[in-house]
Amino acid sequence: MALEEYRKKRKFDETPEPAGSAQKSSEQARFVVQKHLASHLHYDFRLEIDGVLASWAVPKGPSLNPRDKRLAMMTEDHPLEYADFEGVIPEGNYGAGKVMVWDQGTYEVQGKPAAEQLAEGSLKFTLKGEKLRGGFALINTGRRAADPRQQRRWLLIKERDEFADPSWNIDEQDWSVLTHRGIQEIE
Ligand code: MN
């Protein structure tokens, strides 16, 4: 895992996002979900794996309803420092728009090390966030596709446990866990 692609896409003299560096792994692996109002609203789901944030763009956002299978397109690794980034990416820059720290916390991988599961295209983990809790799976359904873009297709699915919520509605969760602002209030 490396941050070249992340850095190549960004001009750090223009964007407030961190340039960052690959770090030693934290004692407790972190996760973050950022609500990102760019050209299209989506949620960026990020898991700390081997000193960087493995990242997926989830158009409809994560769900606590185990019936929802949320498309999650794998994107470039981000630096760990990105987990605390909330603000505005200026016009003309990659991902221009508002970024909110929608949820944050730690996670525990279920079974083999996360990097191995990631490489195998099936990752199971337990989130301890403010909004997201309990077991989840990420499954790389596009793994065997010929088209490289299709290979980035994963599904994010809530496991059935005491944290499952069939009435989950993400639109009722428009607040930052850092600043309690709604997405339109980020500036
Ligand atoms: Mn994004």
pLDDT at 28 over 70: yes
Render pLDDT for 73-129 as a digit per residue (tens, 0 to 9).
999 999 999 999 999 999 999 999 999 999 999 999 999 999 999 999 999 999 999
Ligand 1 centre to CA of 93 (Å) is 12
CA 50 – CA 54 distance, rounded (Å): 9
**187 Cα–ligand 1 center, Å:** 16
Angle (CA) 133-58-76 rounded to 5° is 105
CA of 57 to the centre of ligand 1 (A): 6
**Residue 73 Cα, ligand 1 centroid: separation in angstroms?**
10
- Tell me the C-alpha distance between 17 and 82, whole Å: 7
- Which H helix or E strand runs over 74? strand 69-79
Residues 141-180: pLDDT tens digits? 999 999 999 999 999 999 999 999 999 999 999 999 999 9
Nearest Cα to Cα of residue 60 among 75, 74, 44: 44
pLDDT recorded at residue 2 = 82
Query: What is the residue whose two structure tokens read 């990659």?
Result: 94
Q: Which pTM does this prediction carry?
A: 0.95
Cβ pair 45, 72 in contact under 8 A: yes
